């Protein structure tokens, strides 16, 4: 097999260049020797590297990344713009495809089915997260025409409707972080609970006395009930409705989670009214990357209005909404 011998420091750039030109040959190991990698290539070309014949291990089970597999099939401008990262929700892969390249939907979808054996359905995002339910339209690129997936995360199995209910796999580390903070015997309220990822992960991985989710989207609530039952979570419950109406009927909580970063500040009064003295509140917000302090101002003002002194425990960055706009979680505690 013909290979191109590239110094390690230049390897990533050289590989991207090979893929872009359609010269990279997927399905083989890339050996490393002293300070060089040997990339399998289709042919010699004008490059500042040596070309060397080598025996390479075949990796038939690894047909390469989506970009590698599409090299030579998509025009280079489309290949350059293709986002390599995609979300995998159970057996559903969800891509973002530039509007100008929709004519390649089927090719991209079918290629992804071949490169990722776990994937049975390939969808593309057709809109941003919209409306009260924060849902996103999708179109089918290839595979089985379904929006329902079974996703495993932090020790629970979740039924997820990727089009009718908000769900993000990218929050799994954040859910684990919150689970690590829950103390034995706590009553935990999850406002805006969707199909129950926080509710289930906290109920499964902590010794909370009770974890209660509240969600306004009936489809999300239906799935949350299924997920609680499926994971046999006797310490979890879910209610359907607007938090403003439902939460005041649920009693007092030791911890409140507010995963509605688009508008959680408008519900701080509801969270504060439901929180015991000494409770911890996890408040999410989308803010410019250097402006997380704005959330501290909303929290301080809301606490002052309700006469509940509070202390910010910390702020973590837990995602990206847009270039230079991040999802932050501010953890704050009410005075005892």
Ligand X SMILES: C[S@@+](CC[C@H](N)C(=O)[O-])C[C@H]1O[C@@H](n2cnc3c(N)ncnc32)[C@H](O)[C@@H]1O
Quick one: 37 or 285, whose CB is closer to ligand X?
285
Among 259, 265, 275, 315, binds ligand X (CB under 6 A): 259
Among 243, 264, 279, 281, binds ligand X (CB under 6 A): 243
Distance (Å, whole) CA 133 – CA 234: 27
Kindly write out the interface string for residues 174-213 of this chain, putting x where it contacts ligand X by CB under 6 A and - elsewhere: ------------------xxx--xx---------------
Among 115, 116, 217, 231, binds ligand X (CB under 6 A): 217
Quick one: 142 or 258, whose CB is closer to ligand X?
258
The pair of structure tokens assigned to 136 is: 């996103």
Distance (Å, whole) CA 34 – CA 36: 6
Quick one: 67 or 134, whose CB is closer to ligand X?
134
Please list, residue by residue across 209-245, b when 16 or more beta carbons sit within 10 angstroms of its beta carbon and e when fewer do: ebbbbbbbbebbbbbbbebbebbebebbbbbbeebee
- DSSP letters for 18-74: HHHHT-B--SB---EETTEEEEEBSS--S-SSEEEE----B-TT----HHHHHBTTB
Q: Is 230 helix (H, G, I), strand (E, B) or coil?
A: helix
Q: Are 316 and 277 within 8 A, CB to CB?
A: no
* Residues numbered 104-133 forming contacts with ligand X, rule: CB under 6 A: 132-133
Q: How far apart are the first and last CA of the chain?
A: 70
Instruction: Report, in Å, the least distance between residue 80 CB and ligand X.
Output: 32
Instruction: Report, in Å, the least distance between residue 215 CB and ligand X.
Output: 5
Q: Are 110 and 80 within 8 A, CB to CB?
A: no
Asked if 221 interacts with ligand X (CB under 6 A), we say no
Among 68, 153, 210, 215, binds ligand X (CB under 6 A): 215
Among 112, 161, 220, 318, binds ligand X (CB under 6 A): 220
* Residues numbered 41-80 forming contacts with ligand X, rule: CB under 6 A: none
Binding site for ligand X (CB under 6 A): 132-134, 166-168, 171, 192-194, 197-198, 214-217, 220, 242-244, 259-260
């Amino acid at each position: 097999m013909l290979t191109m011998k590239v110094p390690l420091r230049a390897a990533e750039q050289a590989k991207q260049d090979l893929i872009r030109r359609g010269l990279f040959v997927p399905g083989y190991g890339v050996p490393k020797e002293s300070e060089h990698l040997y990339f399998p290539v289709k042919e010699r070309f004008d490059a500042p590297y040596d070309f060397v014949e080598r025996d390479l291990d075949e990796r038939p089970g690894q047909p390469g990344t989506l970009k590698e597999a599409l090299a030579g099939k998509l025009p280079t401008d489309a290949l350059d713009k293709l986002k390599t990262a995609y979300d995998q929700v159970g057996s559903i892969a969800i891509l973002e495809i530039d509007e100008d390249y929709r004519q390649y939907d089927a090719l991209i979808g079918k290629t992804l089915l071949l490169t990722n054996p776990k994937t049975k359905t390939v969808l593309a995002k057709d809109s941003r997260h919209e409306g009260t339910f924060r849902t996103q339209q999708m179109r089918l690129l290839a595979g089985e025409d379904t929006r329902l997936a079974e996703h495993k995360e932090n020790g629970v199995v979740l039924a997820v409707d990727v089009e009718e209910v908000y769900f993000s796999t990218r929050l799994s580390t954040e859910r684990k972080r919150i689970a690590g903070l829950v103390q034995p015997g706590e009553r935990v309220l999850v406002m805006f609970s969707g199909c129950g990822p926080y509710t289930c992960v906290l109920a499964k991985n902590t010794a909370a006395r009770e974890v209660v989710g509240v969600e306004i989207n009936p489809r999300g609530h239906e799935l949350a009930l299924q997920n609680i039952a499926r994971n046999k979570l006797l310490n979890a419950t879910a209610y359907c409705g607007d938090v403003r109406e439902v939460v005041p009927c649920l009693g007092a909580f030791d911890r409140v989670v507010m995963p509605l970063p688009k508008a959680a500040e408008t519900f701080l009064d509801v969270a504060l009214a439901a929180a015991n003295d000494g409770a911890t509140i996890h408040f999410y917000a989308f803010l410019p990357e250097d402006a997380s302090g704005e959330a501290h101002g909303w929290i301080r003002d809301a606490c002052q209005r309700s006469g509940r002194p509070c202390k910010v425990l910390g702020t973590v960055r837990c995602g990206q909404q847009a270039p230079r706009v991040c999802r932050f979680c501010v953890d704050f505690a009410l005075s005892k």
